[in-house]
Structure 1
Amino acid sequence: MQQVIIVIHLIVVLGLVGVILLQRSEGGALGGLSGGGGVSGFLTGRGQANALTRATAVLAAIFFTTSLVLAILAGVNRAPKSILDTAAPSAGAPAAPAAPASGGVLDQLRQLENQGQGGTPAPKQP
């Protein structure tokens, strides 16, 4: 279902881009590419502008509709998650962080360094 709506959405997007590029702009961009055979007045002047404006409005409405439907379909299958519902930490990880020592961060780092060197105290610097 979702893939079909995505394909329709992409076709509408391409059509919308094409219709917008065919419209006459102030600079005349690609508006002159529609041909000059004005037999019935449909492709000339106001008739062309009205048809392209109407086509743009219809394609824009379809674009917004398919966008909303895709957003709704994406949200239906998503289960709500919470960080509090996550699994407990593994056995190798500590359950809670160690309580900080009263000496400060630098003293803690020195203690950790001493533990890594076999427990000998590090010389204090002047």
Structure 2
Amino acid sequence: METVLIVIHLMVVLALVGVVLLQRSEGGGLGIGGGSGFMTARGAANALTRATAILAAAFFATSLTLSIVARYGEKPIDILDRVPATSGGAGVVVPGNWLSTPLPAPAGPT
């Protein structure tokens, strides 16, 4: 489920980038916009604006869905949850020695 959502999200992102790059620059801030271009008709501008809005809504929807799935989906099992709790406290394994030595008790507030 999560993989399908990620693939849909990536397709929406690529389409959104493409639609934004197809739009004509109004100010020509970099000096490369305006003039005759690929889509200069007013109807094409409205279609690109509408497509941008639809793709932006789809981007937000997939982003929120992915975050909800990540929050409430299956969680990996933590390795620390598998370790049984020891009654005497945590032990330290010395390299080369397979025996565990208990840690000293922490000093209380003085």
Aligned residues: 88
Encode CA deviations 1:26-66: one digit per residue, 9 max, x unaligned.
2175777963xxxxxxx432111100000000000000000
Higher Rg of the two aligned structures:
1
**Any conservation in 2 of the 1:22–1:31 contact (CA below 8 Å)?**
no
Letter of the 1:8 counterpart: I
Residue matched to 1:10: 10
Matches within 5 A, 1:33-72: 35=38, 43-72=39-68
2:9 touches 2:62 (CA, 8 Å); kept in 1?
yes
- Measure, in 2, the Cα distance between the counterparts of 1:57 and 1:10: 17
Q: 2:106 corresponds to which residue?
A: 96
TM-score after normalising by structure 2: 0.64
Over aligned residues, Cα RMSD in angstroms?
3.1
In proportion to residue count, which structure has more helix?
1
Structure 2 portions without partners, runs of 5+:
77-84, 92-100
TM-score, structure 1 length as denominator?
0.56
Percent identity at matched positions?
57
Q: Which runs of 4+ in 1 moved over 3 A?
A: 28-35, 97-100
Q: Which has the higher strand share?
A: 2
